[in-house]
Amino acid sequence: MHTSDPLSLSHVFYVSRSLATPIEVDRILRCAREQNSHRGVTGSLLFTGGHFAQLLEGTPAAVADTMAIIGADRRHTAVKRLAEGDLSQRRFGAWSMAFAEAPGADDLIEQLLSSAEVPPERAQRLMRLMFETAPL
């Protein structure tokens, strides 16, 4: 459980299968940027065509609220959290939501979704991809 300190930071990194059309992905991105700005949430969204990977960071309450909305969104399915917990500093502090497309990452994300247990190094590989392509 996260501390109740309103200045503490936490993160969640998840993957999911996309049910969204390209137009819906644009809407998701615009809405996320607006809502995240209001909530003080930063992060990055990776879209592969068939999957999403997203890293969110902010106060524990803001991240939990954002994940509740994401969990109820019908434009994706099979939401799987790969990493979460306390965070010492933001990695995407400059972006309410950075965005990258990586069509070649579909197989990697599907493997992560299908695995009963995901080794941390596999999740880290996908996060590195997000950092390398984020400033869009």
Q: What is the pLDDT of residue 112?
A: 86
**Per-residue tens of pLDDT for the chain, all 136 residues:** 444 566 799 999 999 999 999 899 999 999 999 999 999 999 999 999 999 999 999 999 999 999 999 999 999 999 999 999 999 999 888 888 989 888 888 888 888 898 888 888 878 777 777 666 555 4
Task: Tell me the three-class secondary structure of the chain, residue by residue.
Answer: CCCCCCCCEEEEEEEEEECCCHHHHHHHHHHHHHHHHHHCCEEEEEECCCEEEEEEEECHHHHHHHHHHHHHCCCEEEEEEEEEEEECCCCCCCCCCEEEECHHHHHHHHHHHHCCCCCHHHHHHHHHHHHHHCCC
Reported pTM: 0.86
